[in-house]
Amino acid sequence: MARDLTKRRTERELAPALGFKATLRFWWGQLTSMRTALVLLFCLAVAAIPGSIVPQRSISPIKVENFIDANPELGRFYDTIGMFDVFTSPWFSAIYLLLFVSLIGCIVPRVQVYLRALRAEPVKVPARLTRLPAHRVGAIPVDVDGDPEDPAEMLRWAEKWLRKRRYRVAVRDRELSAERGYLREAGNLVFHLSLILVLVGVAIGSLYGYRGTAVVVVGQGFSNTVTQYDDLTSGGRFSSTDLAPFAIKVNSFEAEYETGPVQTGAARVFRANVTVTDTPGATPHDEVLEVNHPLTIGGTEVHLLGHGYAPKVTVRDAAGNIAWSGPVVFLPQDGNFTSAGAVKAVDARPERLAFQGFFLPSGDVEVYGPTSQFPGLLRPQLVLNAWYGPPRTETGVAENVYSLDTRGLTQLMENGEPFRMYLSPGQTVELPEGKGSVTFDGVEQWVQLQISRTPALPLTAVGIGLAVTGLSFSLFVRPRRLWVRIRDEQVEIAGLDRADARHGLEDEVAELAAVVCDEQPGVAHPSVERGRDAGDEADVAEATADAYGDDRVDDSRVDAENK
């Protein structure tokens, strides 16, 4: 043991040090190995997790500022390491680029090896066919006169049979080599190439694409500008000038629900009739927008995501002046469109007014409380609580228009209880203490539009399609080799599968043996033996390695060549 350790230590001391080029070649081989590509793919998935947990500046800058205000030290640390801009940070970009380079460096050598394999003839017949997992040994058949059959003719029988089964065949003297399944490696290469296409497509889409939503009340319109979006998610290279200059006006919205005893209230029809102006000055044209049937306007897709109700409310202040008038978007809370929202009359004087509550398209507050019983407008009701407070100086800080921040406000009371209004369309309620009045004028509907553009989506789709195709080739194509050798008075036939978990090899070898030895007209039928000569596992492994040959594509060998 001590002598062996001393010998290995001496060998390491005598081994020459790697030069600069050799060192670069070594690290390039490490980077372009399939093992490294898988590790980088895993690292990319892990690195994307913070982007879905920590608020991102490109998506919600207000949430980022609020996070920093609430957690000053942690927020500054996150900002320093790029946690608020994960997908454009240097470390995420480095992983992405390394994965890209690793895949390219892995694919190029494999393509070269594969092209050499396509040009090369099937590998020569191994020395010991009887050591292979599936083989047959038989005697050369004789004709009706008792003469041995011509070996060349026997090989022609085998060649014809093999070519019908899409084998590539090479005949050398009294030996025949056949191989099929080249598309399996082509499938592997196509799969790896598809990963590159997907990475490129995702990168372009992430950098230049955008997606946003906007709530549009029926009768109103949407112009594709940044200020019209309720929320907007964009890539690092996105600019407001990239928005296509179109406009959409929502003319009407149709919603139909099941009224029968089965699935009562289930949606049956959602359809918005809109007018689209593709560019400023262009002729408007009418379109129909439905769920799962988006509009495509100059490469931008417009989807119909949802809808709801917007009660029209008029608020008058203590002086009788209109402080607010118009539809207010209420957000659905359940399948029957019990909707919550807030009405803010910030211009009311001498005190500003605010209201929070529910809109019920089909409600009966006296019996069921503030809950809708059906999604359609059968009995609309508006239930509101009232708040008041001193006028507030505008700060320019954005706030949620769908909920009410009651800080600095006092709830309006009546007889020691919170004042609550129950309004039907056309009804007006006077506020206590002469604060003003609220009128429920009617109901409009609103639709939620999703506007998105993914520049390289077709490229990504092609990559995914190629990935499925390549994976199918890898899973279902059977790479297999068959050999026939005729010498003296004996015929040897053997086969070898070049992939694990394959079936049918024994049957195919038996069929080939029958073609060569048993089924020719006018030929006697010699016995064909099945089995393996005595030998240990080392002999079998050596014969199998010999049968694989040195000029074929092998994943582990390609990785070794890359290094």
pTM listed for this prediction: 0.66
Nearest Cα to Cα of residue 374 among 239, 546, 255, 515: 255
The alpha-helical segments, DSSP class H, found in 337-408 are 365-368
Domains and CATH numbers, the chain: 20-109 (no CATH), 120-181+481-562 (3.30.310), 205-306+450-463 (no CATH), 308-390+400-443 (no CATH)
Computed from CA positions of residues 402, 406, 412, 415, in that sequence, does the dihedral angle turn out positive or negative? positive
Q: What is the pLDDT of residue 419?
A: 94
Of the candidates 353, 234, 246, 345, the one whose C-alpha atom is nearest the C-alpha of residue 302 is: 246
- Give tens-digit pLDDT for 420-437: 999 999 999 999 989 999
Within 8 A by CB and 6+ apart from 153, the residues are none
Two tokens, residue 111:
């393509």
Whole-angstrom CA distances from 93 to 97, 408, 561 are 6, 46, 28
Pairing assessment for the beta strands 247-257 and 231-234 based on DSSP bridges:
unpaired
Condensed to tens digits (0 to 9), the pLDDT of residues 271-306 reads 999 999 999 989 999 999 998 899 999 889 999 988
pLDDT band at 558 (very low <50, low <70, confident <90, very high): very low
186: its two tokens: 């082509």
Cβ neighbours of 38 (radius 10 Å): 12
Closest to 180 measured CA to CA, from 472, 469, 496:
496
Tell me the pLDDT tens digit for each residue of 374-408.
Answer: 999 999 999 999 999 998 877 666 677 888 888 88
CA dist list (Å): 420 to 188, 319, 355, 510, 555? 68, 22, 10, 89, 74
Q: Is residue 345 exposed (0-12), middle (13-18) or buried (19+ Cβ within 10 Å)?
A: buried
The per-residue pLDDT for range 365-376, each reduced to its tens digit, is 777 778 898 999
Tell me the CA end-to-end span of the chain in Å, nearest whole number: 32
CA gap 413, 431 in Å, rounded: 10
User: What single-letter amino acid sits at 321?
Assistant: N
Residue 21 CB-half CA count within 13 A: 0
CA geometry: angle 558, 561, 563, nearest 5 deg? 115
pLDDT classification of 532: cutoffs 50, 70, 90? very low
Residue 50 phi, psi (nearest 5) = -60, -30
Q: Are 86 and 54 in contact (CB under 8 A)?
A: yes
Q: How far apart are CA 381 and CA 205, in angstroms?
A: 45
